[in-house]
Structure 1
Amino acid sequence: MGEAKRRRQMAGLASAMDLELGEKVLRQAYQNTCQAFDLYPNDMVDALIASYRGRNASLDLVAKNNPEDSVACRAGCSACCHQMVLCSPFEIFILAQLLLSTRSNVDLEGIEHRLSEISRLPLNPHARYGRHATCPLLVNDRCSVYDRRPAVCRALYSNSKASCEQALTSGGGDVGFLVHPQMLSSAMQVGIDSALRQKRGLNVEPVEMCGSLLIALQDFNSSLTDWLNGGDPFADFQVRRTGSPTNAQQVEHVAARLGL
C-alpha cells in the first residue's frame, strides 16, 4: 500500500509539473508570435516563419536533451512517414513557400502529382496508413523538407524502431512514443494559435497536409489572401469529429482561462 500511494503521489506531482510547464510554454509561444507580428507588420509570411523558427528551435532543444537510449529515431528510418499528417494552416503556407522558392517546375509537377494521388484516398487515418500512403515529401527515406517539417512530425519520437517497422508492415499496432515532446509541441501550438486567433482573427483549424498543400502550391497568393482575410481555403481537408468543439473554440477557451 505504501509503495502504491507513493507512486500515485509522484504521478500527481508529475502531472502538476507538466501542467505548469505546459502553461509556461504556451504563454511564451503566444508572446513570441505577437512579437513576430510587430517585427514584420507588413509581411505575414515572414512573421509566421519567425514564429515557426522559434518554435522549432525549442522543440529541437527538447529532442537534443532526450536521453540517447530513449529515442530510436535515426536518419534514414521513415516508418512514421506513411500516415495522415495534420497541420496548422500556417504550416501549409510555410511549406508551400519553401517548395515554390527552391524547387524546379519539373520537381513541383512531381510533388503535385504525388500529393494529388494521396488526396484521393479517404480522409481518415486508417485509409492513409501504410506504404500506399507514403508522404509525397519523402525522398530516399529522408524528409526533403526536414527543416520545415510540421510540428506533428518534429515532436514524434519513438522508443522502438522495431515496433515502428512492425506496425507499418502489419498495418497497425502499438508503438511507444515519448510524451514530453508531444506535450510541449501541443502547448506551443495552442500559444501560436491563440495569437493568430486573438490578434489577427485567422482560421486555426488543423488540416490534412497533402490536399491542403496541393491547393497552396497551385494557387499560393489566392489561398494565402483568403486565409489572411479570415477565410478557410483548406476547408475540404479539415478533420474533426462531429459534435466536437472546433480548434478555435478550444483555443479561445484556453486564452480566456489564462488571460491572454
Structure 2
Amino acid sequence: MEKPEPQNFEPIFFTDGNRLGKAHPIKNELSNLKAGLRELYHNIDLLIDAFSQRCESEKKPVHCHMGCHWCCNQAVFASTHEMIVLVDYLKKHYAKDRMEAVKEKAKEKEKRLSPLKPSEALKTSHPCPLLHKGRCMVYPVRPTACRIYLSSSKDSCIAKYERPKDPKAVPALFDFPLKAGRRLNQGFAQALREQGLIIEENRIEHILLKLLESPQKTNDWLEGAAIHDRFPFDEISTI
C-alpha cells in the first residue's frame, strides 16, 4: 500500500510552483517561459525520482518508463504554457514533413474526440499525435500530466487501454505524485496569470492543432490573448 502523505502538502507545492513562476517573468519573452518551465519540470522530475526510489525500496516499484506508451492512448491534458513550449521544441527538432504528420494525427484525434461528451472523451482510446513508433517525440518537454502519471502495474494500464469504457479497468496510479506535480504546475500557472497571461487546460491534440495551424497564436498568447478553448471539466458526470 502507498503510505499516506501529510495532508497539508498540496499548498506547499502550489507555493513552490508559484514562486518559481514569479522568478521567471515572461514580459513577451518566450525564452523566459522556456527557462521557467525547464526548471519546473526539473523539480517535478526530481520529485518523481525520489518517489520512485522510495517505492522501489518498499517493494512496490513504478512500472512506468520511456517507451511504455499504454497511457499515451487516452485523453491527456495540458495547459497553455506547456503546449507553447512543446510546439517550440517540435519546430526546432523536426522537419516540415514530420510536423505535417503530427498535425494530421492531431486533426484525426480531435475529429474523433471533440464531438463526444466530456465524460465519453475520457473513455476513448486513440494514440497521442506525438507518439511515434511507441515513443514520445517530445519527451524532454512532455507536459506535467505525462510526468506525474505513475503506475504500479503495467497490466492495469493495458487493461485501461484495451477496455477504456470498463469502469473496473482502472490504472493502479500513485496518488502523491499526481497531486504534488499538479499543484506545482498550478502554482506556476497562477504566477503567469498574475502577469496577464491566459492559461487554460484542454486535451493535448486540441491545443496542439491550434498552435500548428496558426503559428501567430504563440505571439498572441504572449501578448495576453486566449488562444484555445477550455475543456469543460465541470460537465463530467462519470469518469
Q: Which residue of 2 aligns with 1:156?
A: 149
Cα deviation for residue 22 of structure 1 reads 2.1
> Does the alignment pair 1:194 with 2:190?
yes
Q: Is the deviation greater in 68-77 or in 101-110?
A: 68-77
Deviations 1:147-173 (A, max 9, x none): 111111110000100111122112241
How many equivalent pairs are there? 222
Pair 1:42–1:205, CA change in 2 (3 A): closer
Cα deviation for residue 74 of structure 1 reads 2.8
Q: Which residue of 1 aligns with 2:13?
A: 25
- Higher helix fraction (1 or 2): 1
Q: Which residue of 1 aligns with 2:200?
A: 205
> Does the alignment pair 1:143 with 2:139?
no
The whole-number CA distance in structure 1 between the counterparts of 2:185 and 2:11 is 12
SS of residue matched to 1:87: strand
Equivalent residue for 1:168, pick from 152, 161, 185:
161
Matches within 5 A, 1:1-260: 17-19=6-8, 21-37=9-25, 41=27, 43=29, 45-65=30-50, 66=52, 67-68=55-56, 69-123=60-114, 124=118, 126-127=120-121, 129-131=123-125, 133-171=126-164, 172=166, 173-198=169-194, 200-220=195-215, 222-235=216-229, 238-242=231-235
Q: TM-score, normalised by structure 2?
A: 0.85
Residue 22 of structure 1 aligns with an amino acid whose one-letter code is E
SS of residue matched to 1:135: coil
Cα deviation for residue 238 of structure 1 reads 2.9
Pair 1:160–1:46, CA change in 2 (3 A): same
**Unmatched 5+ residue regions in structure 2?**
none
Cα deviation for residue 242 of structure 1 reads 4.8
The whole-number CA distance in structure 1 between the counterparts of 2:120 and 2:43 is 31
Residue 240 of structure 1 aligns with an amino acid whose one-letter code is F
The whole-number CA distance in structure 2 between the counterparts of 1:91 and 1:18 is 28
Q: Which residue of 2 aligns with 1:248?
A: none
Q: Name segments (4+ residues, structure 1) moved above 4 Å.
A: 128-131
Residue 220 of structure 2 aligns with an amino acid whose one-letter code is D
Greater RCO, CA 8 A, separation 6+: 2
Asked if the contact 1:82–1:129 (Cα under 8 Å) also holds between the matched residues in 2, the reply is no
Deviations 1:104-133 (A, max 9, x none): 1111111111111111023335346555x1
Q: TM-score, normalised by structure 1?
A: 0.78
- Please report the RMSD computed on the Cα atoms of aligned residues, expressed in angstroms: 2.1
- The structure with more radius of gyration: 1
Between the aligned residues of both structures, percent identity stands at 24
Pair 1:109–1:78, CA change in 2 (3 A): same
**Unmatched 5+ residue regions in structure 1?**
1-10, 244-260
